[in-house]
Each structure stands twice: as structure tokens, then as C-alpha cells.
Structure 1
């Protein structure tokens, strides 16, 4: 499938399903990726997200990332859910973990400027594993601690 020839939301749904194996659907005229027991999401403020991205790449645990104006969203394998105390720390740091049943809007374009106001920093790949949610959370807390001395 050639991304340059995709015109409709339905085309993009087919593209994401076929090319990347993502369980997306059309909802309200947008491509939506549901948060499930197999695919999680972590939202991070941009500055912290850039540090997390670099650290995960060094660990060879990088994965798909979406950029929005004030935050990036990392796709993750939900290996465990943080406890209440960790969630409280994450909330204070403006790090969000959407609940199962929610969804994330994906771009209908592979360039930087899409009608959804987001773009792929690192696009998904069909055969690559998603990084564990716990690794993203641990890394996000570690890189923030380094800069807060």
C-alpha cells in the first residue's frame, strides 16, 4: 500500500491495519487506536519525552511515538500497571496512562503536518515489538530525576 495514495479515513484504517497490524477503527471521522490489554499508551510532556526517547533508543527499546504540540505519546506493551503511589508521582509530572477502553487518534498522513495536529516521531513497524510500559515509566522517572538536582 502506498501512503501517498491514501485519501479517506477508511483508506488510513486499512493502511494501519495492513502495514502495521494495529487494531484501529474509524470513529467520528478519525483513525482511532484503542487502548487494550495488548497496546498501551504513555503521554509525556515534550521535553521529558525527548529524553525518554533517547534513553530508550540507547537501551534498544525504542518504539512508535506520536508528537503533539505539548506532549508525545509512546505506544507500549502493557506489561504491568503502576501502583497508586507511582501513579500519583506520574500525575504530578503530567505523565498520563490512558485506561483500557480509551483511544488515541492517529494521523492520516506520514508527514509533519496532518489535520489531526499530530505526526509520527517514530512510526510503527509491523514486526517490531512495543517497548514495555514499565520500561517507559521507569525511564521517564529516571530521566526526570537527573534534571531535577
Structure 2
């Protein structure tokens, strides 16, 4: 596996709408493994393809819960409800954090690495992480949704 370079803002690819994945082959599986290794190395909970320079609708999320690694290929939001506001960061914006409001409950449809469709319902932090990564696939950055920025130095005090 390979640790890939994470694209930092500003970069055109981070604000572009990505194209659908159409080929489900060993190259895609390798990319997912490399993205997972990159995300772990960067201490992230999610990573989208544009963040590693690929303009395809692929993202991964792993928050170390019962789901394990979630591969989101060509994901679609089917339903959402409720609201939650919490602090978000992004691997493409090192040391930048802000409060963002998102739905608390979501239902999505996506494909796995084999091209098989699945439906997933998520709540709380998992829903937040999935929506953050899905936004990347449409060129939407979390900074466009920030209610209030939190300086990195204050982040530790907020978490305590």
C-alpha cells in the first residue's frame, strides 16, 4: 500500500464536481486501499478522491465503530432529518476547524468496490463524516458551511 499526497486548499480539484466511477477493477480496489492507508497516516476519519488528486466520486469513512471501513462510490443522499452542530476539520485544511450544522440522521445509497449497490442509515458523528466526504465529491468545502471558526489552540479546551 502507498501513502498518497493529500491536496491542500487552495486547489481547483477540491472545488470541482467529480465524475461518476464506471470501472470496478483491481485499480479501484488498490486506490481504496491506498486512500485508507493515507487516511490512517493522516489521522483522519474520512478521505475523498479529490483530496488525493482524483476527480472521481469515491470517498471512504472509518470512525472505528461497528461499521469498519465504509467505501462510498457514487453516493446519493436519499433522506435526512434532524440537526446537529459540532466542530469539523478537514485534511485539506490543516489546523482549521469550525462549527458546522448538518443533519443528524441520513440514509444514503452507494456502491461498493465490486459495483454492488447498498443502502446505509447513519446517525450522529458517522452521518456528519459521510456528509462531509460526500460534499467533497460535489466540490463543496466545509468552510462554506462554517458557522464559527475555532482556532486550533482552543480546540483542545473545547474537547476537554
Shorter chain as denominator, the TM-score bin is under 0.3
Give 1 or 2: higher strand fraction: 2
Question: What is the TM-score when the length of structure 1 is the normalising length?
Answer: 0.26
Q: Which has the higher contact order (CA 8 A, sep 6+)?
A: 1
Question: What is the TM-score when the length of structure 2 is the normalising length?
Answer: 0.25
